[in-house]
Structure 1
Amino acid sequence: MLRTLRSRLAAAAGAAALVGTLLTLGPPAQAAVPASVPLKITNNSGRGEPLYVYNLGTLLTTGQQGWADANGTFHAWPAGGNPPTPAPDASITGPAAGRSATIRIPKFSGRIYFSYGQKLVFRLTTGGLVQPAVQNPADPNRNILFNWSEYTLNDAGLWLNSTQVDMFSAPYSVGVQRADGSTVSTGRLKAGGYNGVFDALRGQAGGWANLIQTRSDGTVLRALSPLYGVETGALPRTVLDDYINRVWQKYTTSTLTVTPFADQPGTKYYGRVSGGVMNFTNGSGAVVTGFQKPDADSVFGCHRLLDAPNDAVRGPISRTLCAGFHRSTLLVNPNQPDTTSAGFYQDAVTDHYARAIHAQMADGKAYAFAFDDVGHHESLVHDGSPLQAYLTLDPLS
């Protein structure tokens, strides 16, 4: 159902196993994980509009799509249509500014949406739920201020993240109370960080300011991810060509060494470009996979020419390449992944969207692209026996 959700949470939940089911991933739970966990939502936005919350996702046991109400009870979506039909109103009234409310989240792989002032519009096709797609000018949610968090709750625990893979919008942080009573959180911006991201995009030459979407009343709604920027023409398709070409040229005469598993330092793959293809060999010299020279779409989406299947070879290599392209580390370090954040985004041709977001995060962590978890730079909390989860909505400043 959710391409980016599956890729990020599968990686987060499955550090020890590269599979995408999310059913058997993660360390064994220290205690039985209950059927649902409380999620405390705190509205620190300072905004006076009504707040609407949605808990939408897929049951891990059956693969059935639906939504959960405030009590954590699952409701399956009815059959959709072609053209899409209106979905049932799954909204939960959220807390007013300065207040908190608690809902329960069931064993789901899904999203917690929240919107200010207006309810979101969801529709159903014969294939399931249609998610908001505000890169489309005709999307009915285009002029609504909203955002979402992503989570998986299963028998191995809770994985909860903040995400900017699709867009940067209304700020929030996430947290979890562990079995020992301690609390960890991530996703909070620095003071002034929300405006700081937009200011950085406005100040970046090359069309990056075109990612920003503003409502007719002057409200800044969001910045689209560079993937959608390229797809919609807001960013030129050539925006990364110079860097990509330099990488391909460098590894025509030198070797890129990829060590994709931190816990398996002996597993290495060696990349060299020949005939326009970067072929990777294993320690025995056998070719295990190869990549055509990617374009900006493939890099920003970590897909197409940089497809990352949930296998033990191509997927891990592709994840590493994708992170290196976003962070512009492939030219300065032939040993990847490069996990030292001080060296990220230093080339003039880089993912300036991800650069701006990471620079404004209080702990430096974000999910600014699908494989931002390479080297553990993602905004994710996890616990095998969670007592409570937190979603805190922060000021737009």
Structure 2
Amino acid sequence: MSKRLNRPLPLGTPAGVEVLTKILTQGPIPRVQIARRTGLSQAAVTKAVAPLIEAGFVTDQQALAEDAAEGRPELGIGRPVSPLTVVADSVSVIGLKVTPTDLIGVTTDFKAGILAVRHQQLTDLSAATVIEQLASLATELMDTLDDEADPSGPLIGIGVAVSGDVDTLHGVVRDSPFMGWRDVPVATPLGEKLRVPVVVSNDVRALTVTEHWFGVGVDADSFAVVTIGSGVGCGLYVNGEVVSGAHGVSGELGHLPLAPGDLVCTCGRRGCVETVASSDAILARVRETTGQPELDLSGAIELARAGDAHAREAFDRAGEVIGSALAAMVNLVGPELVVIAGEGVADYDLYDQRMRQAFAKHAFGAAGDCTLMLRSHTFDDWARGAAATVIRSYVRGEPPLQR
């Protein structure tokens, strides 16, 4: 069990939080640039940064050569500029992703860079068993942080990402059809076992936080992350924040009623996008129409690429429904970018053309200018998302990491 738990941030004002957030997400960055982007005076920036430098969370060392090569702005004439950057190993975080078959865990640094990865197969899906295995996996990862040869900083918290309706404030999974859970407390029992603050989040929203702080969202005014796998999820970033929803539910793209009404979803309702567009739904359709019940997803993809009409129909149908759902979301929210992600999404070029055609057909006016970007993710990325939610809560002083 890790000996090094928590490390308070010297942030006493909202200005300090804003300055550290800019350094963390956009650094290395000079003080004058922080002032321009936040509207704070340079004196206020210097005042906010001083205790962070003294405590070892931030450094003002000269920019590295590769940063200069990437064209970072030169500010100031006739005097050297010392950009501010976060000290990555000043703290460490653990992120855990729960799936119906496995647990995936990572340790990361303060910049959400992955340090170590561990996977563990689930023995069953009962909440008690999963929480016990989460504790075991977290302990294994904590032991890697205690390695004397590892430069990792003190552990500040553990993030857990679960699919479904999650009450992050209370650390409760209210409804997860894939896990078969309803009203399951996770943060409290896991935190009591490990004596570490635990943040529980919806998995897609956690992935969106990662993109907001450490990915495509750093420079975007608004974006959406749509995930396609066993389910179809959506995370939204608008008006400077990842959308949580008044009741903790938002962006449930997979449950828009855009599919045939005779198809029953895992949530128990009919006609959800997931009944046609999820990888499980595509595979079920190909098995049914080809009469090959033993077929796996890679086999279905091979059939479609070989020109099998039944397999092609399943992917075309999925692309049509996903494209329509994307258009509905973009018409309502208006993001400038949609990242379409998933463990095997790069293989789904099979429905890419049909998806884009359906999107163009239903997107209203300038909403059709929204960029659609396909990008593959691994389960390690989902676990990293869970860690990113801890980093965000730590910087902002949110429960259970409030200062």
Common topology (TM > 0.5):
no
Q: Which has the higher contact order (CA 8 A, sep 6+)?
A: 1
Structure with greater helix percent: 2
TM (norm. structure 2) is 0.30
Instruction: Tell which structure's C-alpha radius of gyration is larger.
Output: 2
